[in-house]
Amino acid sequence: MSDIVPATTLLRVEGLNKTYQAGGPPWRRRRVHAVDNVSLTVARGRTLGLVGESGSGKSTLGRCILGLISPDSGQVVFDGVEVQGLSGKALSSFRRRVQPVFQDPYSSLDPRWPVGRSVRESLDSYRIGTPADRERRVLDLFDRVGLNPNLVNRLPTHLSGGQRQRVGIAAALASDPELIIADEPVSALDLSVQAQILNLFMDLQQDLGVASIFISHDLGVVEHISDEIAVLYHGVVVETGDVEQVMKRPVHPYTSRLLAAIPSSTPPRR
Ligand SMILES: Nc1ncnc2c1ncn2[C@@H]1O[C@H](COP(=O)(O)OP(=O)(O)OP(=O)(O)O)[C@@H](O)[C@H]1O
Ligand SMILES: [Mg+2]
């Protein structure tokens, strides 16, 4: 691979490894190779669908990219800068530019706070705009993700799963990120709601041009919103390519199995 990063590359992951010590009694402990020599790239404004069955290493890879856990070896390079070892201003700028969306917004929303405050917190922590600007921006963000601004004072428990995920997305968008890492963001939702949230992601891609890594165990879900797909199997990327190519002409037998597993009730393409 050339050392010159193409102008369009936003994220480059190079030879990433992450192992865990498995639990249990000492004589049974072994190392789990959760992410095994993974390399991939995400271009500006593009969406990479990351698929694989449970335990294939998707979340571990996502968390390494977010800098939430450290890989054993390998590199995560965001906009030309290696993420490991960032600190101070550079780290806070990275956090602002790369935002997570999780499966369960409960994990990112404080249950005691009105949901507007959770979105506002993001603006406060990055010191975006004046306090008055921030009030306005929270309402804009609610509007942007299709939430009634009247909901800002509600607690998370008083919202539906889909509404909570919209709040989670609004909180992620607050800092105007260039890359969103969404880890199974629709898996906990009913099928009809899944389709709505997927449509929202597609709108955001089009309107804001934000790049994303969209993680799912369901190839049928990532198909709808991805430009490229990477298939993880036991921590190894066994297949990558643009979405049409992977869906129509999978090279790896494991991809074919994932294709065969797509439920016919998968949310329809808009
Ligand atoms: N903190 C941890 N300690 C030990 N092992 C872990 C830890 N986190 C993950 N693992 C192991 O690493 C492997 C990859 O897990 P990971 O959660 O990344 O997979 P995943 O593809 O996100 O799975 P799922 O679809 O269930 O979310 C699994 O074998 C898992 O048991
Ligand atoms: Mg996971």
Exposure letters 20-37 (e unless 16+ CB within 10 A, then b):
eeeeeeeeeeeebbbbbe
Q: Are residues 171 and 224 in the same domain?
A: no
Exposure letters 45-77 (e unless 16+ CB within 10 A, then b):
bbbbbbbbbeebbbbbbbbbbbbeeebeebebb
Asked if residue 146 is part of any domain, the answer here is: yes
Nearest residue by C-alpha to atom 12 in ligand 1: 34
Q: Are residues 191 and 112 in the same domain?
A: no
Helix (H, G, I), strand (E, B) or coil at 88: helix
Asked if residue 111 is part of any domain, the answer here is: yes
Closest ligand 1 atom to residue 52 Cα is 21
Q: Are residues 149 and 138 in the same domain?
A: yes
pLDDT value of position 28: 76
Q: Are residues 134 and 148 in the same domain?
A: yes
**CB of residue 62 inside a 6 A radius of ligand 1:** no
Residue 114, both tokens: 């009105």
Summarize pLDDT for 139-195 with one digit per residue, the tens. 999 999 999 999 999 999 999 999 999 999 999 999 999 999 999 999 989 988 999
pLDDT value of position 91: 94
Asked if residue 129 is part of any domain, the answer here is: yes
- According to DSSP, residue 132 is labeled H
Asked if residue 25 is part of any domain, the answer here is: yes
- According to DSSP, residue 241 is labeled E
pLDDT value of position 49: 97
Domain end call among 141, 176, 211 = 176
Domain end call among 122, 142, 176 = 176
Q: Are residues 228 and 119 in the same domain?
A: no
User: Is the pTM higher than 0.85?
Assistant: yes
Q: Are residues 186 and 170 in the same domain?
A: no
Q: Are residues 184 and 266 in the same domain?
A: yes
pLDDT value of position 109: 86
- CATH assignment at residue 36: 3.40.50.300
**CB of residue 20 inside a 6 A radius of ligand 1:** yes
Distance 191 CA to ligand 1 centre (A): 25
Q: Are residues 54 and 172 in the same domain?
A: no
pLDDT value of position 63: 97
Distance 222 CA to ligand 2 centre (A): 15
Query: Tell me, what amino acid is at 236?
Result: V
Helix (H, G, I), strand (E, B) or coil at 139: helix
Distance 147 CA to ligand 1 centre (A): 33
Phi and psi angles of residue 17, each rounded to the nearest 5 degrees, phi first: -130, 140
Summarize pLDDT for 203-225 with one digit per residue, the tens. 998 999 999 999 999 999 999 89
Q: Are residues 198 and 265 in the same domain?
A: yes
| CA R_g for the chain | 19
Asked if residue 92 is part of any domain, the answer here is: no
Closest ligand 1 atom to residue 23 Cα is 4
Residue 250, both tokens: 């999978």
Alpha-helical segments (H) within the chain: 58-66, 88-97, 115-125, 131-144, 161-173, 191-208, 219-225, 243-248, 253-260
Q: Are residues 132 and 254 in the same domain?
A: no
Asked if residue 98 is part of any domain, the answer here is: no
pLDDT value of position 1: 47
Pocket test for ligand 1, best of 16, 36, 50, 60 (most atoms within 8 A of CB): 60
Domain end call among 129, 147, 176 = 176
Asked if residue 119 is part of any domain, the answer here is: yes
Distance 119 CA to ligand 1 centre (A): 29
Closest ligand 1 atom to residue 217 Cα is 25
DSSP characters over 193-228: HHHHHHHHHHHHHHHH--EEEEEES-HHHHHHH-SE
Asked if residue 100 is part of any domain, the answer here is: no
The domain in which residue 246 lies consists of 1-79+178-270
Per-residue pLDDT of the chain (270 residues; tens, 9 = 90+): 445 655 589 999 999 999 998 877 877 778 899 999 999 999 999 999 999 999 999 999 999 999 999 999 999 999 999 999 899 999 999 999 999 999 877 777 889 999 999 999 989 988 888 988 999 999 999 999 999 999 999 999 999 999 999 999 999 999 999 999 999 999 989 988 999 999 999 999 899 999 999 999 999 999 989 999 999 999 999 999 999 999 998 888 889 888 888 876 555 554
Nearest residue by C-alpha to atom 5 in ligand 1: 20
Residues 16, 4: Cα–Cα separation, whole Å:
19
Distant-in-sequence, close-in-space partners of 242: CB < 8 Å, separation ≥ 6: 227, 228, 229
Closest ligand 1 atom to residue 53 Cα is 25
Residue 233, both tokens: 């199997």
Overall residue count recorded for the chain in this entry? 270
Distance 59 CA to ligand 1 centre (A): 7
Specify the number of domains making up the chain. Answer: 2
Distance 170 CA to ligand 1 centre (A): 27
Contact 37, 236 (CB under 8 A): yes
Pairing mode, strands 31-43 and 9-21: antiparallel
pLDDT value of position 29: 79
Q: Are residues 11 and 24 in the same domain?
A: yes
Report in angstroms the alpha-carbon separations of 56 from 203, 224, 252, 266: 29, 21, 15, 21
Q: Are residues 188 and 270 in the same domain?
A: yes
